[in-house]
Amino acid sequence: MHITQNLPTPAGRRYVIRTTAFMTGYMAVNIAAIFGAFDEIHGKPAAWLLALTVSAPVAGQLWATLAMMRDSDEYIRGIFAKQFILAAGLAMAIATAWGFGESFADAPHVPAWIIYPLFWGMFGLVSVIVRYER
């Protein structure tokens, strides 16, 4: 069975294809980094190119999500918009609280990139709660 068969709309199928493409690139670069492919550039100006390379699929995947929302009907668009806004707000609130914890309460440092998986974790949480518009 193909993964897109469970998605009822063309917009949903395009979303899965786009997300799979972007996240495959994201995983490939990170796996290469984990195995030391970029160790020699750590701390050098070229490391910024690596940082931007890893960040590009994240931006692409967010674009894929917004494109899916744009291409969906009003009902689905409204549900996803509400979930997206709530997830972003929760992720920002948690990241801000933790940042102030680092500044004032000696909380351990958490890298800024954690906001991306935190956002999607919050999206999954609010998606269970926000299912229907009234």
pLDDT tens-digit series, residues 80-99 = 899 999 999 999 999 999 99
2 has pLDDT over 50 = no
Mark out the alpha helices in the chain (DSSP H runs): 10-34, 46-71, 74-105, 115-129
Q: What is the pLDDT of residue 4?
A: 45
**Average pLDDT score over the chain:** 90
- List all residues 6 or more positions away from 13 whose beta carbon is below 8 Å from its beta carbon: 4, 7
Q: Cα–Cα distance between 114 and 119 in angstroms, integer? A: 9
Q: Cα–Cα distance between 77 and 63 in angstroms, integer? A: 14
Prediction pTM value: 0.82
Q: What is the pLDDT of residue 3?
A: 46
